[in-house]
């Protein structure tokens, strides 16, 4: 898709080795980006993951003077400061930031606690925003740079049992759009990569709250139990049907790195492209009804535990 739309964009020819910082490299799209950039010796690369996952990266990659593996929890101010200090001292600063770290809760809003909400937003929004703030001074002084935020189709349209994840992606999309305006006069590019359903095991890595896990275990007679019973296999089925793999999204990220003035929004899968235009051309009142009707067995939801008039 990116090739068809933006083939006319000029590729950036670097006379130096850009410094690329990638977060969330323990699995999925982040790991695929790490694997791809490891092959390109024209870049200086820092791939990161939380300390609990760093061993996996160390076993997979050989570090050298242009490819670093570092522990980074994006929600930790100390981790961010320590890493940025090391990069600034040895390489002068970050030229390309790829925010890929993120988590997803499977829980309806009623089953989320304040602590759960904060953890979701902290990882998917506050942490990435803090990293953007950390790299911008160097980019601003250089008059160039790229910030690439890996968002989601959930930043375009919401989905039941993923309300807080959707909110975090909407927030990331909003701040990225505002930042695009702020950075345009300074020569810094901001891009949102918007994957939809990607064929991977990432759907197994979702977080559950105590209440959502309990409701799913008890089954459809429990309030919201039918939501979980239908949505989990529905999402898994759509992921298994997808033609897009993490490596495809990684190649798209590389194209953005190598392209002058890439666009702000880039749908990364066929379904994301479909929803991208659906949201723009179908009136919202009609769109909501269409999407609601497409949910699995939605007309049966709540029948066993609500007094709603039928």
Q: What distance in Å separates the CA atoms of residue 167 and residue 162, rounded to the nearest whole number?
A: 9
Q: What distance in Å separates the CA atoms of residue 249 and residue 223, rounded to the nearest whole number?
A: 37
Q: Say if residues 192 and 151 touch (Cβ distance below 8 Å).
A: yes
Q: Taking Cα atoms as reference points, which of 100, 188, 124, 150 lies closest to residue 267?
A: 150
Whether 165 sits among the annotated catalytic residues: the reply is: yes
Q: Could you tell me where the DSSP H helices lie in the chain?
A: 2-6, 28-38, 54-60, 77-91, 114-121, 127-142, 163-183, 210-218, 225-241, 246-258, 270-281, 284-293
* pLDDT band of 13, cuts 50, 70, 90: low
The H or E element containing residue 193 is: strand 188-194
Whether 43 sits among the annotated catalytic residues: the reply is: no
Q: What is the pLDDT of residues 177-219, one digit of tens each?
A: 999 999 999 999 999 999 999 988 776 789 999 999 999 999 8
Q: Which residue has the higher pLDDT, 2 or 111?
A: 111
Whether 169 sits among the annotated catalytic residues: the reply is: yes
Task: Round the average pLDDT of the chain to a whole number and report it.
Answer: 93
Token pair 């040895």 is found at: 90
State the pLDDT at residue 201. Answer: 73
Which pair of structure tokens corresponds to residue 34?
Answer: 């790490």
Q: What is the DSSP letter of 222?
A: S
Q: What is the pLDDT of residues 56-85, one digit of tens each?
A: 999 999 999 999 999 999 999 999 999 999
* pLDDT band of 2, cuts 50, 70, 90: very low
14 pLDDT more than 60: no
Which pair of structure tokens corresponds to residue 214?
Answer: 């309990």
Q: What distance in Å separates the CA atoms of residue 97 and residue 105, rounded to the nearest whole number?
A: 25
Mean pLDDT of 134-149: 98
Percent of the chain beyond pLDDT 90? 85
Token pair 């010796």 is found at: 41
Phi, psi of 308 (to 5 degrees): -60, 140
> Using alpha carbons only, what angle is made at residue 181 by residues 176 and 182, rounded to the nearest 5 degrees?
90
Q: Which residue has the higher pLDDT, 5 or 308?
A: 308
1 pLDDT more than 50: no
Catalytic residue among 151, 154, 164, 176: 151
Question: What's the first-to-final CA gap in the chain, in angstroms?
Answer: 45
* pLDDT band of 307, cuts 50, 70, 90: confident
Which pair of structure tokens corresponds to residue 217?
Answer: 């275990």
Phi, psi of 76 (to 5 degrees): -95, 115
pTM of the model: 0.92
Q: Say if residues 53 and 30 touch (Cβ distance below 8 Å).
A: no
7 pLDDT more than 50: no
CB atoms within 10 A of CB 3: 9
Q: What distance in Å separates the CA atoms of residue 144 and residue 205, rounded to the nearest whole number?
A: 36
State the pLDDT at residue 306. Answer: 86
Phi, psi of 27 (to 5 degrees): -165, 175
Q: What distance in Å separates the CA atoms of residue 187 and residue 194, rounded to the nearest whole number?
A: 23
16 pLDDT more than 80: no
Q: What is the pLDDT of residues 143-177, one digit of tens each?
A: 999 999 999 999 989 999 999 999 999 999 999 99
Catalytic residue among 43, 125, 165, 276: 165
Q: What distance in Å separates the CA atoms of residue 242 and residue 233, rounded to the nearest whole number?
A: 14
Catalytic residue among 168, 169, 224, 227: 169
Q: What is the DSSP string of 5-37?
A: HHTTSPBP--SS--EEEE---SSHHHHHHHHHH
State the pLDDT at residue 10. Answer: 57
136 pLDDT more than 70: yes
């Amino acid at each position: 898709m990116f090739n068809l739309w933006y083939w006319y964009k000029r590729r950036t020819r670097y006379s130096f080795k850009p410094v690329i910082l990638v977060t969330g490299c323990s699995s999925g799209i982040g790991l695929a980006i790490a694997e791809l950039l490891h092959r390109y010796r024209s870049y200086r690369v820092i791939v990161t993951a939380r300390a609990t996952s760093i061993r996996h990266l160390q076993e997979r990659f050989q570090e050298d003077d242009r490819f670093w593996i570092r522990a980074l929890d994006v929600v930790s101010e100390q981790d961010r400061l320590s890493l940025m200090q090391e990069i600034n001292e040895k390489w002068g600063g970050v030229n390309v930031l790829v925010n890929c770290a993120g988590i997803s809760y499977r829980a309806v809003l009623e089953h989320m606690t304040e602590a759960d909400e904060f953890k979701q937003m902290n990882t998917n929004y506050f942490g990435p925003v803090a990293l953007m703030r950390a790299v911008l001074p160097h980019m601003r002084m250089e008059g160039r740079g790229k910030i690439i935020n890996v968002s989601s189709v959930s930043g375009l349209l919401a989905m039941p049992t993923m309300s807080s994840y959707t909110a975090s992606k909407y927030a990331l999309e909003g701040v990225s759009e505002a930042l695009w305006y702020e950075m345009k006069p300074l020569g810094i590019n901001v891009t949102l990569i918007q994957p939809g359903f990607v064929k991977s095991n990432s759907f197994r890595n979702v977080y559950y709250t105590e209440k959502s896990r309990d409701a799913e275990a008890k089954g459809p007679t429990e309030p919201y139990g039918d939501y979980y019973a239908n949505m989990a296999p529905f999402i898994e089925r759509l992921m298994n049907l997808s033609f897009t793999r993490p490596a495809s999204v990684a190649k798209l990220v590389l194209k953005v790195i190598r392209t002058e003035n890439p666009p702000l929004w880039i749908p990364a899968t066929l379904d994301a492209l479909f929803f991208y235009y659906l949201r723009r051309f179908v009136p919202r009142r009609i769109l909501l009804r269409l999407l609601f009707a497409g949910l699995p067995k939605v007309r049966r939801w709540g029948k066993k535990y609500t007094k709603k008039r039928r």
